[in-house]
Every structure is written in C-alpha cells, then in structure tokens.
Amino acid sequence: MDGLEAAWRVRQANFPMEIEFYYPFNTVSISLTGDYCELNCAHCGGYYLRSMVPIWRADVSKATSCLISGGCDSSGKVPVTRHLERVKAIRPGRRMNWHVGLITEAEMRAIAPYVDVISFDFVGDDETISEVYGLNRTVDDYVETYRMLRRYATVIPHITIGLRGGEISGEYRALGMLQDLGIDGLVLIVFIPTPGTRYAQRRPPSVEAVAEVMVEARLRFPDKPIRLGCMRPHGDYRHRLDPLAVRAGVNGIVSPASTAIRLAKELGLEIRRGYECCVLSPA
C-alpha cells in the first residue's frame, strides 16, 4: 500500500524499536449517567454505556485507574460534575481518564483536580456532527473546547475513522486542524456497525481506507505517540487491520490481533504490555 513504507521510516527515525500492546484489565469504565444518553447517536444509541459500570455501583478495589464517562446531554457534553463527590471518593491511588464532550470551562475547572488525562472525540466535519450526534454544533465548537481543555490537562484527541456510517468524511481535515492546534498524542478508532442503532446496517470503512488515515497521521505527527484504540471491529477485520497499523508506524494497539503480534516480532519490535487505558501510558 502506498505510504506504508514512508510511515514506517518516519516511525523508525523518531521512536525506539518497541511497541506497546494494551490489555486494560486494570481500568474500570465508569458511567456518570448509567445507560442513559440524551443524544441517541447514530453510531452508538447508548449501546456502549451498557458495558460500563454506573458510578453508584462502581467497585474500584482492584483497579489502578478509571475511565470516567457517561451519556451526553442535548448540548453534547457529559455531565461531569454530577456525582463529583463519588469521583473524589474513588480518586485516591488511582489515575483517571475522562471522556467529557463539549463541556464548559467552569466544569473543567471543577473536575481538574481529578483529571490525569482527557480523551476528546475530535470531529472535522459539520455535516457529520449533525448527522451522527444530532447536535447544532460545528467543528469550531470542537476546536474551541479542545483549546480550552488543553489549558487545564493533557488531552488526547480521538478520531473515529468512518464515524459517518462508515464513510470517510472529515478525518483528514481533523488531522490537519490538530496539526495546527498541537497534540500530546493521538488515538485512532474505527466505526463499528452496532445492533439497534441507526447505522446498524452500514459497513465499517475498508481496512485500506483506515490504513491510509493511519499513514497520514504518522506523517503529520512524526514524533507524537499514535495508538490504535479499543473501538474497532473484531474478527477478520481486526486480523487484517492490526498488522497494517503496525506497518503504518503506530506506537501501540489495544487488544491486538495475533497477526499484529506476529508481525511486530518479525519486524524486530520489542513488545511492551500495558494493563490500563492506552492514553494512560507514558509512551
């Protein structure tokens, strides 16, 4: 595939020959809203909230970190100050990765003492924002929120490749904007057709299209850590995609396919393993 060799050379020039594979068993995923989300987004429909633990039932006794998230309200923000006393109670001795949406600066200041890193979904297309989330917001709102959050915390933008029902629409623009804004790292995830959602019958983007976005990311951010995150299709799709991610020069993969592990060894990469959310890794 065009670009893979160039991306691999860039990776070799800027990083040691090692790759991290993440198995986030030690991170508890906590929802501040239970399984409720006001938006009912086309790609999720609240489905993924069901696998999270409501904060009022969370047992963190064996966890070293937490993902604090939840459903969004009608303005596109997670109600981060809800149950803040409960968050404070589970904070000691644990790192926290927050997924916040389009929160205000006052809300960011309120949670700042309990934030180690923020995972921020970054979207580069106004029509995608409207179609997927049903929000009357624009790319400019995402840019301004991203700028604000970075004044208070480390922020790792997440780009969902194929967010608009499997179509590529704004991913390259998002990369260009982030290049101008600056990043500490980047997580790439991939649209999954999910039962019960408006996009249930769509197809994920081709693995080749996803690999091309990964290559572009590596070339635009030669010295920043790029990771392939947990949200991506399983099965044969993952077995084909994950090795391409290795060749495209990513620094880490969450729950990698065996094909990627095998290729990493063949390429001489030293494998490191992490057991928390990938954004909590120092690499």
Range 53-80 average pLDDT: 96
The 10s digit of each residue's pLDDT in 169-210 is: 999 999 999 999 999 999 999 999 999 999 999 999 999 999
Edge to edge, the sheet with strand 18-22 lists 53-54, 27-31, 65-69, 95-99, 117-121, 155-161, 186-190, 226-228, 252-254, 18-22, 270-274
Region of 48 (left: φ > 0; alpha: ψ -120 to 50; beta: rest) is alpha
CA atoms within 13 A on the CB side of 259: 13
The 10s digit of each residue's pLDDT in 100-120 is: 999 999 999 999 999 999 999
Domain boundaries along the sequence of the chain: 26-228
**What is the pLDDT at residue 1?**
66
Asked if the model's pLDDT at residue 283 lies above 60, the reply is no
Tokens of 158: 């997440």
Range 52-60 average pLDDT: 96
CA distances from 50 to 30, 47, 53, 69 (A): 10, 6, 8, 12
Structure confidence at residue 282 as a pLDDT band (50, 70, 90): low
The fraction of the chain above a pLDDT of 90, given in percent, is 96
Nearest 10 degrees: CA dihedral of 169, 171, 177, 182? 160
**What is the pLDDT at residue 239?**
98
The 10s digit of each residue's pLDDT in 235-278 is: 999 999 999 999 999 999 999 999 999 999 999 999 999 999 99
Q: Which of 36-50, 94-108, 116-130, 185-199 has the lowest mean pLDDT?
A: 36-50
Spatial contact of 5 and 258, defined as CB atoms under 8 Å apart = no
Q: Which CATH architecture has domain 26-228?
A: Alpha-Beta Barrel (3.20)
Tokens of 167: 């179509």
